[in-house]
């Protein structure tokens, strides 16, 4: 089996238990591979497993989020497509954000640069849509941050309350909120 086979499972584990909580014992149990076999696929150990998951996620963003934002349709349509993609990724709010999880754990230092990069790429792509719609660049930048804030914040709240509805509401309202004209409240 190519090592890509195990990436979704690994991502699952990191999302559910965090970097620290995803122990080799758990990973071994979940993948069905012995610890030594894991080192066959990932000689760098757990850190390399996490890197592989990040690369997978970066690929997923390139394949799903960026095309959704850059494809055809007006700005509102594109932002709605982005939200649909995130709804899948986070399973309607039932699953926390891997980036936030790693950022909040003891492995932050190891992956901080990588995580920042993902956020910056994402924010820039959103801002580009808003600029195309005629918003001034600085406001577009702010609104792109608002998008990240709403999505990340609603995932935190959904986790805290054990209730995905804040996330779902945010996805509903966000596209129109981002597109509203510059002078509206």
Partner DNA sequence: GTCTATATTAAGATAGAC
Partner DNA sequence: GTCTATCTTAATATAGAC
Q: Which residues lie near a copy of itself (CB under 8 A)?
A: 17-18, 20-21, 96, 99-101, 103-106, 112, 115-116, 119-120, 142, 145, 148-154, 156-157, 159-162, 166, 169-170, 177, 180, 184-185
Tokens 């699952």 — which residue? Answer: 12
Torsions phi, psi of 182, nearest 5?
-65, -25
Q: Which helix (H) or strand (E) holds 133?
A: none
Taking CB under 7 A as the rule, does residue 43 contact DNA? yes
Number of residues that bind DNA (CB under 7 A): 18
Whose Cβ is closer to a copy of itself: residue 5's or residue 139's?
139
Q: Is 45 in the site for DNA (CB under 7 A)?
A: yes
Residues 102, 108: contact at Cβ < 8 Å? yes
77's CB contacts (< 8 A; 6+ apart) are none
Q: Nearest approach, Cβ of 1 to a copy of itself (angstroms)? A: 28
- Sequence-distant (6+) residues with CB within 8 A of 74 are 133
CB 57 within 8 A of CB 118: yes
**Count of C-beta atoms within a 10 Å radius of residue 116:** 12
The site partner of 33 among DNA, a copy of itself, none (C-beta below 5 to 8 Å per kind) is: DNA
Q: Quick one: what does residue 96 bind among a copy of itself, DNA, none, with the CB cut-off 5 to 8 Å set by partner type?
A: a copy of itself
Interface residues toward DNA, by CB under 7 A: 1, 22-25, 32-37, 39-41, 43, 45-47
């Amino acid at each position: 089996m190519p090592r890509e086979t195990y990436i979704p499972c690994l991502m699952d584990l990191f999302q559910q238990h965090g970097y620290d909580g995803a122990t080799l014992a758990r990973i071994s149990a979940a993948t069905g591979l012995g610890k030594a076999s894991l080192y066959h696929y990932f000689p760098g150990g757990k850190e390399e497993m996490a890197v592989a998951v990040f690369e997978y996620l970066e690929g997923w963003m390139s394949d799903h989020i960026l095309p959704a934002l850059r494809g055809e349709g007006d700005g509102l349509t594109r932002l709605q497509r982005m939200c649909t993609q995130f709804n899948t990724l986070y399973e309607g709010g039932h699953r926390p954000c891997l980036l936030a999880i790693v950022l909040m754990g003891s492995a932050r230092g190891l992956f901080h640069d990588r995580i920042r990069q993902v956020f910056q790429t994402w924010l820039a792509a959103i801002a580009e849509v808003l600029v195309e719609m005629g918003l001034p660049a600085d406001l577009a930048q702010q609104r792109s941050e608002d998008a990240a804030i709403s999505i990340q914040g609603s995932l935190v709240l959904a986790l805290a309350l054990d209730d995905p509805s804040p996330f779902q509401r945010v996805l509903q309202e966000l596209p129109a909120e981002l597109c509203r004209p510059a002078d509206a409240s």
